[in-house]
Amino acid sequence: MLKVSTMKTISLIVLAFFYAGWCSAQKPLTNSRQSSYYTYLYKIADADLLKRYQQPDADPKDTELSNPVDSFKTGKYWENTLPAGKYYKVYAENNGLKYSLIENHTAFLNVLANTHDLQFSLTDKQGNSIIADEVIVNKKMQL
């Protein structure tokens, strides 16, 4: 028969062995993923966009983020092929949601360098000039 002190020593060695194995099996949280796997895109209504411009620090409401129109892996390349409109890009990072606004325009305003008056041109996505039949400024027809 083994002495009681020898049994205690063996028990402590076996316990220490299992404890060391258990501790090394844990993954440090600092190496864990800190963001969501997917980033989602949500279309924004014009009224919600106006509220966003009036209160830029306010987070979007749950009703604005109800139906995603697209998604992609967070941190990966994404090619914007969405139709014209306004969208939220939403993903989780650390312990919160991150929002950014995406605006897909149908026309672009180009201000022309001029020293005596304001001149501009409108172009489409391909860079082609948009010729307007009429221009109205302050409810007056311009030539």
Instruction: Identify whether 37 is part of a domain.
Output: yes
- The answer to whether residues 93 and 131 belong to one domain is no
Residue count of the chain = 143
- The answer to whether residues 100 and 112 belong to one domain is no
Residue 131: domain span:
108-142
Pick from 135, 101, 141: which is nearest to 119 by CA? Answer: 135
Summarize the confidence of residues 85-103 as an average pLDDT. 89
- The answer to whether residues 38 and 93 belong to one domain is yes
Which two structure tokens, joined as six digits, stand for 48? 């919600």
Give the DSSP H/E element, type plus range, for residue 71: strand 68-73
DSSP state of 65: G
- Mean residue pLDDT across the chain: 81
- The answer to whether residues 76 and 114 belong to one domain is no
- The answer to whether residues 48 and 60 belong to one domain is yes
Which two structure tokens, joined as six digits, stand for 141? 């027809």
Tokens 């650390």 belong to residue: 94
Number of domains in the chain: 2
DSSP state of 24: H
* pTM greater than the 0.85 cutoff: no
- The answer to whether residues 98 and 113 belong to one domain is no
- The answer to whether residues 91 and 119 belong to one domain is no
Report the pLDDT value the prediction gives residue 26, as an integer from 0 to 100: 58
Summarised one tens digit per residue, pLDDT across range 45-80 is: 888 888 888 988 888 888 888 889 999 999 889 888
Instruction: Identify whether 128 is part of a domain.
Output: yes
pLDDT band at 30 (very low <50, low <70, confident <90, very high): low
- The answer to whether residues 41 and 98 belong to one domain is yes
